[in-house]
Amino acid sequence: MVSTELLSQSIINGLLLGGIYVTVGVGFALVFGVLEIIDFAVGEYVMLGAFTGAIVAPMVGGEGLLVVPLAFVAFFLVGVVIQPFIHHVTTGDRPMPLLMGLVFTFGLATFMRGSILTIFGPNTRNVPTNALSGGIEIGGLGTFPEVRVVTAVVGVLSLVAFMYYLYRTTGGTAIRAIAEDRDIARLMGVNINRYQSIAYGVYAGLTATGGVFIGLIYSAGPGMGLQYTAFAFFMIVLAGLGYLPGIIISGIVLGLAQSLTAVYLGGELVFFVLFGMIYVLLLVRPEGLLGKGEVA
């Protein structure tokens, strides 16, 4: 017999998780559209964000929340520095640019993971918070950890701000134009190197920010990245490659699937269920559940 209370709590937990996954997925989808790469390092930016929270929070009074803006700015700059290298290996006369991008970002991911493992060792670390140590009652359905609720709210707000930029500003319109056809965008006077840098910086910043929140909910460990890379793949395949609005739905589906599977089938089956869904989807609707072959 399924308990209604347990089901409700699992659904809310799933929605809360989905809110933060969306911030990871939307950046991943953006760089797929704008830079035409599949960034294998996406999960490692989550890991680096979580580690930044774990290392820096004790220096700012033990409050992980204060690390969030810092992580965004720091990783935005990291992204701006890294993007020209990606551009270099995926353009010019090189054959198979998509494969070159995959190889480069796979190497980048290995380097990031190896560096953290070497410097900080294999142990996990907590991201401390004093402000979010309590619980919040939601609609009589139970009490949920403040950290999860605030994380989801900030995740959604970040997403709204990001979508506003993309859909309501000239810079955002230029980024969407690049995602659709970079050569024609260049012919309209758009400096695509600049906007590709901005897009990759925003992606790295958003993803690392998501990492701080994920560190607040769980913990930071050098091996955590691969899981989030898999989650990011799940989201963009479900949404339809590069289709940004679809990421909102697919992030929430991911959170729900993870939460419900963990509660009713067991945590060890989460990946089995998620990738089972993806395999079935690819067989019956390869363009994604929500996408229409669009990129922005």
Partner 1 sequence: MSADTPQQTSRSEASPPVLRAEGIVTGYGDHEVIHDVDIQSHEGITCLFGPNGSGKSTLLKTLNGIVPIWEGTITYGDVDLSNATPDEIVREGIATVPQGGGVFGTLTVEENLRVGGFTVSEQDAYRRRREEVLDAFPALEDKLGDRASSLSGGQQMMVSLGRAMMTGADTFLLDEPSAGLSPALVEDAFELVERLVDRGARVILIEQNVTAALRLADHVNILVAGELAFDGSPAELSDEEELMEVYLGL
Residues of this chain that interact with partner 1 (CB under 8 A) are 93, 170, 173-174, 176-177, 180-181, 183-191, 294-296
Tokens, residue 16: 């809360």
Q: Which is nearer to partner 1, 145 or 171 (CB)?
A: 171
Least distance from C-beta 175 to partner 1, angstroms?
10
Least distance from C-beta 100 to partner 1, angstroms?
16
Least distance from C-beta 284 to partner 1, angstroms?
24
Please state the three-class secondary structure of the chain as a single string.
CCCHHHHHHHHHHHHHHHHHHHHHHHHHHHHHHHCCCCCCCHHHHHHHHHHHHHHHHHHHCCCHHHHHHHHHHHHHHHHHHHHHHHHHHHCCCCCCHHHHHHHHHHHHHHHHHHHHHHHHCCCCECCCCCCCCCEEECCCCCEEEHHHHHHHHHHHHHHHHHHHHHHHCHHHHHHHHHHHCHHHHHHCCCCHHHHHHHHHHHHHHHHHHHHHHHHHHCCECCCCHHHHHHHHHHHHHHHCCCCHHHHHHHHHHHHHHHHHHHHHCCHHHHHHHHHHHHHHHHHHCCCCCCCCCCCC
Q: Which is nearer to partner 1, 44 or 294 (CB)?
A: 294
Q: Which is nearer to partner 1, 134 or 189 (CB)?
A: 189
Least distance from C-beta 249 to partner 1, angstroms?
18
Q: Which is nearer to partner 1, 185 or 248 (CB)?
A: 185
Least distance from C-beta 234 to partner 1, angstroms?
23
Q: Which is nearer to partner 1, 93 or 137 (CB)?
A: 93
Q: Which is nearer to partner 1, 85 or 167 (CB)?
A: 167
Least distance from C-beta 296 to partner 1, angstroms?
5
Least distance from C-beta 239 to partner 1, angstroms?
14
Q: Which is nearer to partner 1, 83 or 209 (CB)?
A: 83
